[in-house]
Amino acid sequence: MYDVIVVGGGPVGMLVANELALHDVSALVLEQRGDVSEYPKAGTYHSRAIGTLARRGIVATPRQTNDHTTITSEPFQFAGYPWITVRGRTIDGAVMLGIAQADLERAITRHAESEGAHLLREMTVTSVHQEPQHVTVVATDAGGVERSFTARYVVGADGGRSIVRRSGDFAVTEYPPTMRAILGLATIPHPHQLRPGWSHTPRGWTLLNLNRYGESRLIVFEFDGPVDDRSAPVTAEEYSAAIDRVVGSHVDVVEPHYLNRFSDYSRIVHNYRDGRLFVAGDAAHIHYPLGGQGLNTGIVDAVNLGWKLAAVVTGVADDSLLDTYCAERQSVGQWIVDNTRVQSMLMNPASSNDPLRSVFAQMLCSSDAHDWLADKLNGTSLRHEVGGSIDPDLDGIFLPDHEVSVDGERTPVSKLLQDGRFVLLAAPRVVDELAHQVALPFTRVVAADGLPAEYPEILVIRPDGYVAWAGNRVSVSAMIDTLRERFGLACAPVDDAVMLG
């Protein structure tokens, strides 16, 4: 029996597997595809997803400063309009990255397998059955042979049609589609016929990522209702006709392929956990695909769930820790569904939506309103309130990627987190004192210099990069209480003979 089975070997599923492999948890990933799909999907990654991947060594972005107050910003869009500028701390690297989803999936898979993750491809899961003490997963391999696997827990990272979600007791809310869109790759021999980037007309929108020397990525959006048959294959003729309708004149589109239709259909799962079953990524939240928000959110879902499963399976935390996964992530999924539904209304060219567009355009001239929305889209406003710290400004924030001095070497915090454990940062003299006061499982204790002077003596950082507790040596009992109550960690005061570990 495995400790965990992950159904779905895309970026989200492999990130969960990576978290488990870091702690030698017995896990198996079952993936239906025989190889990574080259289909053009998400390609824009935002600050929080970038920072999360950097804290596992999967992506790296150049450090431009060690000043955590310096901000970098990049223009972005909301509902296709250039109303937003996203921002992030310069110390954390890029605000946005462009990486093809297939390339990111390969990078995550390589990393996870190098840590010992076990991936089986061409395995179609046909049933998931939860028992009181385990879960049975039945799958059919490429040769049609049925195989059965058991695990203590199962994670559904198997997309919008998730069999894990459908097999468990997961309450959902669905929002029916109101529009239709087609994505494709094609050669655009006469670029003057079509504007690059986002472009709207009285009939809809186009989004053209123009490549003058090869295939371009072109999406066409229409808002006079959804298609009758969502599963019907898209023909080149249908794609070309939709482009011509929206543009209002003929556009030459040569050899279109990878054609795929989508809509603004949305679904949100209310409980990301059902006993021994969990959902993450598209299995938990499906929505209008704008700005890569789904995969960005799925990346953070995966790491949040993965380290918590690892802590529980290895016995250093109790099962209650797994309930915090839904508590922390479901509201983020709901926010994506809500904001993308609003974006669909804003993009709909019907004159009845003109007041909505006017109000948004004016509202976003206010810096407070603009920054609130931009930071929500970019994930940088997320924090996990845990209490118990002496510094409420640090409590629950995503810690900037400070460089600290460890054994005389300058080391970024992101590197200290790459083994997926809690990190306790403290000055060397404080670490020496703590060693005789408390035992901290699942924790890397680092004697470090170089944190900002305004920070307290001790910082405890969660495996996903958020501050779990901030305080001083005189309040160690509060730290113990917080780590026990919030994270279920088996930490405790110790005798002089017991050291931190």
Ordered domains of the chain (ranges, CATH) = 2-54+97-172+268-343 (3.50.50.60), 180-262 (3.30.70.2450), 403-493 (3.40.30.120)
Contacts of 313 (CB under 8 A, 6+ apart): 3, 4, 20, 23, 25, 152, 153
Helix axes 323-347, 367-378, angle to 10 degrees: 120
Half-sphere exposure of 47 (CA within 13 A, CB side): 28
pLDDT of 477 over the 80 cut: yes
pLDDT of 256 over the 90 cut: yes
pLDDT of 488 over the 90 cut: no
Give the mean pLDDT of 150-165.
97
Give the mean pLDDT of 393-406.
91
Structural contact between residues 203 and 349, judged by C-beta atoms closer than 8 angstroms = yes
Tokens 């005789």 map to which residue?
436
- Per-residue burial over 151-175, b if 16 or more Cβ lie within 10 Å, else e, is bbbbbbbbbeebbbbebbebeeeeb
Tokens 């500028």 map to which residue?
85
Q: What is the pLDDT of residue 385?
A: 79
Give the mean pLDDT of 360-385.
94
d(CA 256, CA 207): 15
pLDDT of 19 over the 90 cut: yes
- Per-residue burial over 23-52, b if 16 or more Cβ lie within 10 Å, else e, is bebbbbbbbbeeebeeebbbbbbbbbbbbb
Residue 224: strand pairing partners: none
Q: Highest mean pLDDT: which of 201-210, 378-387, 398-407, 491-500?
A: 201-210
Cα-trace Rg, the chain: 24
Contacts of 169 (CB under 8 A, 6+ apart): 271, 274
Q: What is the pLDDT of residue 485?
A: 87
Q: What is the pLDDT of residue 497?
A: 34
Among 146-160, 287-301, 380-394, 470-484, the minimum mean pLDDT is found in: 380-394
Spatial CA neighbour of 304 closest among 285, 278, 334, 283: 278
Phi-psi region of 415 (alpha: psi -120 to 50; beta: other; left: phi over 0): alpha
Share of residues in the chain with pLDDT > 70 (%): 97
Q: What is the pLDDT of residue 499?
A: 37
pLDDT of 100 over the 90 cut: no
Q: What is the pLDDT of residue 496?
A: 37
Q: What is the pLDDT of residue 500?
A: 40
Tokens encoding 196: 């690059």
End-to-end CA gap in the chain: 29
pTM over 0.85: yes
pLDDT band at 494 (very low <50, low <70, confident <90, very high): low
Each residue of 261-316: pLDDT tens digit? 999 999 999 999 999 999 999 999 999 998 889 999 999 999 999 999 999 999 99
Among 6-10, 79-83, 282-286, 445-449, the minimum mean pLDDT is found in: 445-449
